[in-house]
Amino acid sequence: MIIDQIKPTKIFLLMDTNTKEYCYPLVEENLTDHTILTIFRGEKEKTIQTCIQIWKAMSDLPLDRHSLVINMGGGVICDMGGFCASVFKRGLAFINCPTTLLSQVDASIGGKLGIDFENYKNHIGLFREPNHVIISSVFLNTLSQKELLSGCAEMIKHALIDSHVAWEKQKVMNTPIIPSDEQISQSIQVKYRYVLQDPKENGIRKALNFGHTIGHAVESNLIETKNISITHGEAVAIGLIAETWLSNQCLGLNKDNLNSICEYLINFFPKIDLHNISKQQFFDALKQDKKNKGNKIIASLIRDIGDCVIDYPVSAELCWDSLNYYKLLSAQ
């Protein structure tokens, strides 16, 4: 077993309330002696206050530098658990065991770790790869349709930045079903190719942010100011539509591709009412995006399917116009 290879002095298992109820029973008998910390679920828990709770539990055990942290859960647990492990006593070994589709194809891979701060997504963090990632489709049977949808958004993004062939295969999936092991593997391989070429996101890896400049700004605005329940994937789907429109306006993405992509997304995901979104707070979130350079808002856009242009400067007003495009589509 992987844990036997690491030979930890102690095992610390971090999960949320959902994972404890639905996923932990599936693996409990396969784990050697371990201590569990269960936190509340959701993006709102991805804060420095929760980290303090985790570090206190680690200290109380106490964990030494030869201990192992296992993060079992979705993107919040993988991001935050890896972050906490990486800075505790200057770094413990950790394994990610993603239990949602979103975390399996995205959050658990690539070494991006961190927490939200002052309402800004993943504002505090670092790069560090987990010692291992354990992915099992058995966990996907515990997910709601909403959670499956959230993961599908990242799979769609991977297809769009990869190739026309990948996009045509993706379009066959027109309902949020549990993907096959092959589909999950293919999506992971797309991300992993970018990560291997550019581990610290200094260049080509930024293509993986397609849909996220607008998506993160929408997600932050709706969750924090409107108290609207929206998943990361639903926000990314909005971002993909908006940034596909930006790609048409700025890079000449042809209209057939614009219509094909946006029609697929608007029919696949629930329509979110954005009419009460705050323009100023949306602009504030855009200005805090981690890709920005100086005062320029930077996006990753597609010139064609499979041809992503990174570091493309866009104005806040044009980003706002892209949201108006989404509003028009969702009203139809």
Q: What pLDDT is attached to residue 223?
A: 67
| DSSP codes, 186-253 | HHHHHHHHHHHH-TT-SSGGGGGGTTHHHHHHHHHHIIIII-----HHHHHHHHHHHHHHHHHHHH--
Give the DSSP H or E segment for 17: helix 17-22
148: amino acid identity, one letter? L
Residues with Cβ within 8 Å of 143's Cβ and at least 6 positions away in sequence, in order, are 100, 101, 178
CB atoms near residue 99 (< 10 Å) = 32
Q: What pLDDT is attached to residue 5?
A: 78
Q: What pLDDT is attached to residue 119?
A: 79
| C-alpha to C-alpha distance for 188 and 96, rounded to whole angstroms | 14
What is residue 151's three-state secondary structure? helix
Q: What pLDDT is attached to residue 224?
A: 61
Q: Are 314 and 250 in contact (CB under 8 A)?
A: yes
CB atoms near residue 5 (< 10 Å) = 8
**CATH top class, domain 2-141:** alpha beta
Per-position b or e across 229-262, b if 16+ CB within 10 A of its CB:
ebbbbbbbbbbbbbbbbbbbbbeebeeebbeebb
- Tens-digit pLDDT string for the chain (332 aa): 677 678 899 999 999 999 999 999 999 988 889 999 999 998 889 999 999 999 999 999 999 999 999 999 999 999 999 999 999 999 999 999 999 999 999 988 899 999 999 878 889 999 999 999 999 999 999 999 999 999 999 999 999 999 999 999 999 988 778 899 999 999 999 999 999 999 999 999 999 999 999 999 999 888 665 566 789 999 999 999 999 999 999 999 999 999 999 999 999 999 999 988 889 999 999 998 888 888 899 999 999 999 999 999 999 999 999 999 999 999 88
Burial of residue 191 (CB within 10 Å: 0-12, 13-18, 19+) is buried
Thinking of the domain 144-331, which architecture would CATH place it in?
Up-down Bundle (1.20)
Q: Are 115 and 48 in contact (CB under 8 A)?
A: yes
Q: What pLDDT is attached to residue 226?
A: 56
Segments making up each domain of the chain, as ranges: 2-141, 144-331
234: amino acid identity, one letter? E
Q: What pLDDT is attached to residue 1?
A: 64
Residues with Cβ within 8 Å of 104's Cβ and at least 6 positions away in sequence, in order, are 98, 135, 140, 151, 184, 188
Place of tokens 């030979």: 7
| C-alpha to C-alpha distance for 258 and 198, rounded to whole angstroms | 28
62 preceded by a cis bond (ω within 30 of 0): yes
What is residue 299's three-state secondary structure? strand
